[in-house]
Structure 1
Amino acid sequence: MFQTSSALIRNVHSQVADRVGTSIVRGDIGVGETLPSEMQICQMMDVSRTVVREAIRTLTGKGLVESRPKSGTRVRPPQQWNQLDPDVLRWRLETSDMDSYLAKLFQLRCAVEPAAAALAAISAGQDDLTLIRTAYEGMAAAKVNEKFVAADIAFHQAIYFATRNEFFWPIAQMFDVTLRQSFTIAARGSHRARALVEHNAVLEAIATRNAEGAREATNVLLKNSADDLVRIRGREFASRPKA
């Protein structure tokens, strides 16, 4: 039932949590279904009961399961999972259809990122502006896709942090897990010169405290980014349902 994921090497209980969590997210164990007993998991994975209990505690903390006396440990509905948890995001990425996954991420970004840019234009401190500008300069100076992608992620993260609103920050923190894939795909295109112009427009609007300009520039950037993915991955990405 449990398949080994592509997670980095971790301590034993994290590896067990990783394998069980991946199985839950993939749907091998359905909502409301009971996990195998502690002893069964011990035998299946060749680990101690202490390790299994710690792994279950980890999954409980992420909202995937709940344990009740006499009824075992059951899978909770996805609506109750901590969907911004880095591990949950990674399991989603590893088990989901890529086009559907990317489409949902763009829905989130289009809903939130223009507002974050506008708020950053109002709230950013000098250190925040320096981080955004440094990231942009890293994009402009990048000679290889890997460095361009790293700087691009840093640019968008810095904008969310520059809101000075901690409720925006978890979105920034998830970027390195979730958006590296889409940024890496987009970096294969020939649009980099245009992307730099668009990122600079966002930067300058924030730096000059032009909230509406930052919002509009971000909308343009996101629309063109989605169009780039459509061209690179094909029309299937654009036709995904908005579920």
Structure 2
Amino acid sequence: MFQSSTALRRNVHSQVADRVGASIVRGDIGVGETLPPEMQICAMMDVSRTVVREAMRTLIGKGLIESRPKSGTRVRPPEQWNQLDPDVLRWRLEAADIDRYLAKLFQLRTAVEPAAAALAALHAGDDDIARIRAGCDGMDAATTNEAFVAADIAFHQSIYFATRNEFFWPIAQMFEITLRQSFTIAAPGSHRPRALIEHRAVLDAIAAGDAEAARQATVVLLKHSADDLVRIRGREFETPARKR
């Protein structure tokens, strides 16, 4: 169930939490199922009870498991997981069907990012605009796909931070993990010059304080970004319809 390893990281409990957490997110241990007893995990991973207990506390904090007297440690439903936790995001990405993952990511961005750009236009200060501009400039100056992706992520994160609304910030923070996959797929494409123009349009609208223009420019940018991924991946990004 848990993959063994001979080389543990210095922070051993983090590695145990990583293995168990990834197993849960992959579905190796189903919702409501009980984890192996503490001593069994110790033997499987060649670690102490103290390490296992610390790892379990970490996973409890992320919402993946709950521990109750006499009933053991059970897996909680995904709705109760901390889905914005960086480790949970990483485990989901590692276990995901990439096209379904990208579809869900674009659903979120389409719903939220135009509003974030509009708020940024209303509330961004000079420093905020400078950071957004630096992202644009970094994309323009990038000589490698890695540099382009890093600048692109910084651009979008800066917009969310510029809303001055702390409820948007966790979305920006998760982009370091979630956007990297889609941006890395799209970065080598021939669409890059057009994408730069569209990013500049978002920047210019925010800098001008024009909320509606920022919203519309972001809608266009996201639509074309999704189209680019469809073309590159060769398929539509659709999440399954709800069963009736």
Q: TM-score with structure 2 length normalisation?
A: 0.95
Residues 106-163 of structure 1, C-alpha deviation per residue, up to 9 Å, x if partnerless?
Answer: 0000000000000000011111001000111001111111100000000000000000
Identity of counterpart residues, as a percentage?
80
Aligned residue in 1 for 2:237:
238
Residues 43-93 of structure 1, C-alpha deviation per residue, up to 9 Å, x if partnerless?
Answer: 000000000000000000000000001111000000000000000000000
Aligned residue in 2 for 1:106:
106
In the alignment, the residues of structure 2 paired with residue 85 and residue 4 of structure 1 have an alpha-carbon distance, to the nearest angstrom, of 25
In the alignment, the residues of structure 1 paired with residue 78 and residue 219 of structure 2 have an alpha-carbon distance, to the nearest angstrom, of 30
The structural deviation recorded for 1:175 is: 0.6
In the alignment, the residues of structure 1 paired with residue 238 and residue 210 of structure 2 have an alpha-carbon distance, to the nearest angstrom, of 34
In the alignment, the residues of structure 1 paired with residue 68 and residue 157 of structure 2 have an alpha-carbon distance, to the nearest angstrom, of 39
Three-state SS of the structure 1 residue aligned to 2:175 is: helix
Change (3 A) 1:167 1:69: same
Three-state SS of the structure 2 residue aligned to 1:36 is: coil
Structure 1, unaligned runs of 5 or more: none
Matched, 1:151 2:165: no
Change (3 A) 1:4 1:210: farther
In the alignment, the residues of structure 2 paired with residue 242 and residue 139 of structure 1 have an alpha-carbon distance, to the nearest angstrom, of 36
Structure 2, unaligned runs of 5 or more: none
Q: Is the 8 A contact 1:104 1:242 kept in 2?
A: no
Change (3 A) 1:205 1:27: same
In the alignment, the residues of structure 2 paired with residue 199 and residue 239 of structure 1 have an alpha-carbon distance, to the nearest angstrom, of 25
The structural deviation recorded for 1:32 is: 0.4
In the alignment, the residues of structure 2 paired with residue 197 and residue 210 of structure 1 have an alpha-carbon distance, to the nearest angstrom, of 17
Q: TM-score with structure 1 length normalisation?
A: 0.96
Three-state SS of the structure 1 residue aligned to 2:67 is: strand
Three-state SS of the structure 2 residue aligned to 1:67 is: strand
Matched positions, count: 240
In the alignment, the residues of structure 2 paired with residue 80 and residue 4 of structure 1 have an alpha-carbon distance, to the nearest angstrom, of 28
The structural deviation recorded for 1:10 is: 5.8
| Runs of 4+ with >2 A deviation | 237-243
Change (3 A) 1:10 1:150: farther
1:196-207 matches, within 5 Å, as 196-207=196-207
Q: Is the 8 A contact 2:100 2:238 kept in 1?
A: no
Change (3 A) 1:242 1:115: farther
Change (3 A) 1:171 1:47: same
Q: Is the 8 A contact 1:4 1:19 kept in 2?
A: no
1:155-174 matches, within 5 Å, as 155-174=155-174
Change (3 A) 1:4 1:184: farther
Q: Is the 8 A contact 1:3 1:23 kept in 2?
A: no
Q: Which amino acid aligns with 1:153?
A: I
Three-state SS of the structure 1 residue aligned to 2:74 is: strand
In the alignment, the residues of structure 2 paired with residue 58 and residue 99 of structure 1 have an alpha-carbon distance, to the nearest angstrom, of 30
Three-state SS of the structure 2 residue aligned to 1:183 is: helix
Change (3 A) 1:208 1:85: same
